Amino acid sequence: MAALLSALSVRLPAEEIVATSSVSTNPFSINWVVGEVLSNNPSLKSARANWEAMKQRIPQARAWEDLRVGVDVERMGTTRFDTFTDNEWMAAQELPLSGKNRKRGQAAAAEAAVVFEEFRRRELDLTARARAAYYRLANAYEQL
């Protein structure tokens, strides 16, 4: 595993890769190589985390505005602290009649789809690179 990961990043000569991979006890199949690359690649992990974060934004974008609650206390004609002449209570909620929250939710869903496609592109690119490295290694091993 370490030999393949170093081969993908440093491009060691094929003889060194074969020598270090023959010592390993792991089964060296293409499915194992692709699985290791996809599970241990930091850029793929960050792309997946970015996609998960964008998915979490969709319900937030669709949500109604926050409820506002308040009180105004006024005192007229007196200087005493505990005497109030007027209390005004307020509660307000904006109703999304125009569909603005629905459009914000659709925009957030579209952004999440774009980020997912970037994640998928990175995953396919890493798979292709891992397969190419595996077949280069197999070709070099056969030529020995």
Share of the chain above pLDDT 70, in %: 81
* Residue 104, token pair as written in the block: 């914000």
Q: Sort residue 75 into left (φ over 0), alpha (ψ -120 to 50) or beta.
A: beta
Cα separation, 32 vs 108, in Å, equals 36
pLDDT tens digits, one per residue of 70-89? 998 887 777 777 777 788 89
Contact by Cβ (8 Å): 74, 99: no
Cα separation, 89 vs 71, in Å, equals 4
**25 contacts: CB under 8 Å, gap ≥ 6:** none
pLDDT for position 24 = 53
Task: Give me the mean pLDDT over the 43-52 stretch.
Answer: 95
Q: Which of 18, 11, 108 is nearest to 58 (CA)?
A: 108
Overall pTM > 0.95: no
pLDDT tens digits, one per residue of 2-45? 444 444 444 444 444 444 555 556 567 899 999 999 999 999 99
Q: Is the pLDDT of residue 69 over 70?
A: yes
Contact by Cβ (8 Å): 2, 26: no
